[in-house]
């Protein structure tokens, strides 16, 4: 017990700021985690004083007080300030440090900066710069040997039961992601690889054309705001489904047109839309395949066009459905 207590104390201090915590710190509760539609002057979710202390002024909530520390339900953790998806539940693990711990982030969602104390690495939401906590390496908790120590108050948890998932491949994933992530109701659109023989492939391996993967985009969306059919229509309207193993100047099987369905309803919807296009004379080559494992692409592929301030060169919207 004495050894356990000492370890717990060490982990607790690891996430504490260098300065003594101010009396303004208060326990994070479900009330402070409640999502509100009210926005601030910058267009972000309006924060409570407790949330602002941590997210804007880089404070730290007290250990073992956050309402997400012991939450292990399946779902997605999003930024409390701007609703950007940050972590998936399958990356969360129990570290007994007093704050939610993750060994990986959604690619491109988290920014790292040297902390003001000169010792640690601060992590922030890559979209709004909201303070999340700190990241540590070499502790041996998981195979990834990484611990994102995150304040509960910096996040909102969305259970899997309130979300649905879709996976589309239509050439270079930069363009596919660009259009899908802008749909109201889409919480995340992640570029990645699917349908091949190599586990956790790299972009270099994909470009060889020998792994069998397709560049694709995984979407998590709120079915109360949009539908699978609406997303599938946009998918067909932002690429040429008659081009085989290519899309514009991008040539190769990794650039094929393919829908990876998660259930029979998605498959039937895709079949219906393909029939509509074929009745209009389009020679659709889009494949329909039951979805296998999806692998996130490297961070530099995520939100590519938005970060570069450019628009897709071969994914141009063209209305195809009445």
Q: Is 149 a catalytic residue?
A: yes
- CATH architecture of residue range(s) 163-308: 2-Layer Sandwich (3.30)
Nearest to 169 by CA among 45, 6, 315, 16: 315
| Residue of 125, 172, 207, 314 with catalytic role | 172
Give start-end residues of each CATH 2.170.150.20 domain in the chain.
24-30+37-159
Set 15, 79, 97, 149: catalytic member:
149
Is this model's pTM higher than 0.85 or not?
no
What pLDDT is stored for residue 36 in this prediction? 40
Instruction: Give pLDDT, residue 252.
Output: 95
- Residue 79 falls in the annotated catalytic set: no
Task: State how far the alpha carbon of 63 is from the alpha carbons of 14, 25, 97, 287, in Å.
Answer: 11, 11, 7, 50
Q: What is the DSSP letter of 122?
A: E
pLDDT tens per residue, range 251-305:
999 999 999 999 999 999 999 999 999 999 999 999 999 999 999 998 888 888 8
Tokens of 128: 């709004």
CATH 3.30.1060.10 in the chain, residue ranges:
163-308
* Residue partners of 55: CB distance under 8 A and separation at least 6: 47, 80, 81, 130, 131, 153, 154
pLDDT along the chain (322 residues), means of 10: 40 42 37 50 89 97 96 94 92 96 91 94 96 97 96 96 94 94 89 94 93 95 95 97 94 96 98 98 98 91 83 91 92
- CA torsion sign, 4 to 30 to 51 to 20? negative
Eight-state DSSP code of residue 314? S
CATH architecture of 24-30+37-159: Beta Complex (2.170)
Count Cα atoms within 13 angstroms, Cβ side, for 197: 4
Residues 78-95 pLDDT 10s: 999 999 889 999 999 999
Name the DSSP class of 318: -
What is the pLDDT, as a whole number, of residue 188? 84
Segments in the chain forming alpha helices (H): 2-14, 30-33, 49-55, 173-180, 203-207, 228-237, 264-279, 304-308
């Amino acid at each position: 017990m004495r050894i356990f207590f000492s370890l717990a104390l060490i982990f607790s201090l690891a996430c504490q700021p260098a300065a003594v915590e101010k009396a303004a710190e208060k326990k994070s509760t479900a009330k402070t985690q409640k999502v509100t539609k009210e926005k601030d002057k910058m267009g972000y979710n309006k924060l409570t004083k407790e949330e602002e202390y941590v997210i804007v002024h880089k404070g730290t909530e007290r250990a073992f007080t956050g309402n997400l520390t012991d939450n292990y339900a399946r779902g997605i953790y999003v930024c409390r300030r701007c609703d950007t998806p940050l972590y998936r539940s399958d990356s969360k693990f129990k570290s007994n440090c007093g704050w939610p711990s993750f060994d990986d982030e959604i690619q491109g969602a988290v920014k790292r900066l040297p902390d003001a104390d000169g010792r640690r690495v601060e992590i922030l939401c890559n979209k709004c710069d909201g303070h999340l906590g700190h990241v540590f390496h070499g502790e041996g908790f998981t195979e990834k040997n990484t611990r994102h120590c995150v304040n509960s108050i910096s996040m909102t948890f969305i259970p899997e039961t309130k979300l649905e998932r879709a996976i589309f491949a239509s050439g270079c994933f930069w363009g596919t992601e660009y259009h899908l992530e802008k749909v109201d109701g889409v919480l995340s659109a992640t570029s990645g690889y699917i349908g091949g023989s190599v586990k956790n492939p790299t972009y270099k391996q994909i470009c060889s054309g020998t792994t069998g993967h397709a560049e694709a985009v995984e979407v998590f969306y709120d079915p109360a705001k949009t539908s699978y059919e609406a997303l599938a229509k946009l998918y067909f309207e932002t690429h040429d489904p008659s081009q085989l193993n290519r899309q514009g100047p991008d040539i190769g099987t990794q650039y094929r047109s393919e829908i990876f369905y998660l259930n029979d309803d998605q498959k039937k919807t895709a079949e219906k839309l393909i029939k509509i296009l074929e009745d209009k004379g389009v020679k659709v080559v889009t494949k329909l395949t039951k979805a296998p494992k999806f692998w996130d692409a490297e961070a530099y592929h995520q939100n590519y066009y938005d970060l570069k301030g450019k628009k897709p060169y071969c994914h141009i919207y063209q209305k195809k459905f009445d």
